[in-house]
């Protein structure tokens, strides 16, 4: 390759993980970063040799050396900035959620089609080491017919988390609370593993914070394939308990907490299979990488993927229409909690 891909990042909160991945990529160069806060720009300038800093997103987009932009600003601005980047001739990688509404998310898809450029969306938990064997067990029929799922994001946030962020816990910029911000990754995993959702019945409320949005939801989710799941999101569980991903089929059961396998029971399977799976994935991503140093995890997977997608002229791993599914489910949960009725997607 004669020229490395020029990379830029807007939003230097979670965007720093995008910066790290692009800066360390063999196929890209971190050209520029953009943020409104001088301190964050100065910190980035010290961390990434030669990087250009901008306070104006529009000015950064004029830089011809930039091929890809990671959009890592507050969720309610994702579509606005992603569309601007696409219309300026830049490929985009958008942080989760793709945006806070399906209508806004569709603007990214429309711009992607119109420009013919690449648009990917971050859902890095799909690439936790344990997720491939779990997905394979479902898709191959090893788990049998899916019957039940239990999903729970039982985390904790101090009030200062919302106060310091300014935009967190607001409907306009965050699009929700514990569900849209913290649990969107697990909603994505739920629909990816269990299939298309049919309906939701939910309750939600503000139980332990002073915020506009909710800090807890409890839902029953029905799927088109006949399976049913419970889903809990909370930032009230002192001091952060677990992230449950539990799947029960007609031929087996699998339980995961975050990135760590807790249970692998397959009917007819040998005992050594369960022991092997727990040895590989029971400790989470760290031990899995130790056993297989070639594994790449976290945001780096998708940053490298969008870079490769541009080089190879292929589509990214997770595209806008796929990323919209979790937003559609989340908004249906909010509607059900508000109306007290089952909402069909």
Where are the alpha helices (H) located in the chain, listed in sequence order?
A: 15-24, 38-47, 57-61, 78-87, 102-115, 131-139, 159-165, 184-194, 271-281, 285-291, 299-312, 320-339
Rounded to whole angstroms, the maximal C-alpha distance in the chain is 61
Count the Cβ atoms, other than its own, within 10 Å of residue 256.
25
Cβ-Cβ contacts under 8 Å for 179 (sequence gap 6 or more): 187, 204, 214, 217, 233, 330, 333, 334
Q: What is the DSSP letter of 27?
A: T
pLDDT at 1: 45
Residue pair 225/146 in contact by the 8 Å Cβ criterion: yes
How confident is the model at residue 2, as a pLDDT?
A: 56
> pLDDT tens digits, residue range 54-69?
999 999 999 999 999 9
- The stretch 67-90 carries a mean pLDDT of 97
* 136/268 Cα distance (integer angstroms): 17
**Whole-model pTM?**
0.94
Write the DSSP symbol of residue 53: E
Residue 87: count of CB within 10 angstroms of its CB: 13
Instruction: Domains for the chain: give ranges and CATH numbers.
Output: 5-121 (3.40.50.720), 126-293+327-344 (3.30.360.10)
pLDDT digits (tens, 9 = 90+) for 119-145: 999 999 999 999 999 999 999 999 999
Q: How far is CA 302 from the centre of its chain?
A: 10
Residues of 316-328 as b/e, b for ≥16 C-beta within 10 angstroms?
A: bbbbbebbbbbbb
pLDDT tens per residue across span 257-302: 999 999 999 998 766 788 999 999 999 998 777 777 766 678 999 9
Asked whether 154 and 265 are in contact (CB, 8 A), the reply is no
pLDDT, mean over the chain: 95
Residue with more model confidence, 147 or 271: 147
Asked whether 260 and 277 are in contact (CB, 8 A), the reply is no
pLDDT at position 106 = 98
Q: Model confidence over 94-103: pLDDT tens digits?
A: 999 999 999 9
E strands along 224-258, which residues?
228-234, 242-249, 252-257
**DSSP-assigned beta bridge partners for residue 202:** 219
């Amino acid at each position: 390759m004669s020229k490395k891909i020029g990379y830029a990042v807007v939003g230097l909160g979670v965007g720093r993980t995008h910066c790290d991945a692009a800066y360390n990529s063999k196929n890209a160069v971190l050209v520029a970063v953009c943020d409104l806060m001088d301190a964050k720009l100065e910190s980035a300038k010290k961390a990434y040799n030669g990087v250009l800093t901008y306070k104006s997103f529009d000015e950064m987009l004029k830089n011809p050396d930039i091929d890809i932009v990671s959009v890592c600003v507050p969720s309610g601005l994702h579509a606005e900035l992603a569309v601007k980047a696409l219309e300026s001739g830049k490929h985009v990688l958008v942080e989760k959620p793709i945006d806070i509404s399906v209508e806004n998310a569709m603007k990214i898809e429309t711009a992607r089609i119109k420009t013919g450029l690449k648009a990917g969306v971050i859902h890095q938990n799909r690439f936790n080491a344990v997720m491939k064997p779990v997905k394979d067990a479902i898709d191959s029929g090893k788990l049998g017919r899916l019957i039940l799922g239990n999903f729970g994001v039982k985390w904790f946030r101090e009030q200062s988390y919302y106060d310091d962020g300014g935009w967190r816990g607001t409907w306009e910029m965050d699009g929700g609370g514990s569900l849209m911000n913290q649990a969107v990754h697990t909603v994505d995993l739920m629909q990816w593993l269990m299939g298309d959702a049919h309906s939701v019945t939910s309750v939600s409320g503000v139980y332990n914070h002073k915020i506009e949005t909710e800090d807890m939801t409890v839902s029953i989710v029905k799927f088109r394939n006949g399976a049913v799941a419970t889903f809990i999101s909370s930032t009230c569980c002192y001091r952060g308990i677990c992230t449950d991903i539990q799947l029960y089929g007609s031929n087996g059961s699998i339980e995961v907490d975050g990135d760590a396998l807790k249970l692998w029971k397959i009917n007819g399977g040998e005992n050594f299979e369960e022991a092997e799976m727990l040895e590989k994935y029971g400790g989470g991503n760290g031990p899995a990488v130790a056993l297989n140093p070639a594994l790449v995890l976290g945001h780096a997977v998708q940053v490298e993927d969008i870079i490769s997608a541009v080089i190879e002229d292929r589509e990214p791993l997770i595209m806008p229409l796929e990323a919209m599914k979790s937003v559609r489910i989340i908004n249906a949960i909010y509607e059900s909690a508000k109306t007290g009725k089952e909402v069909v997607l």
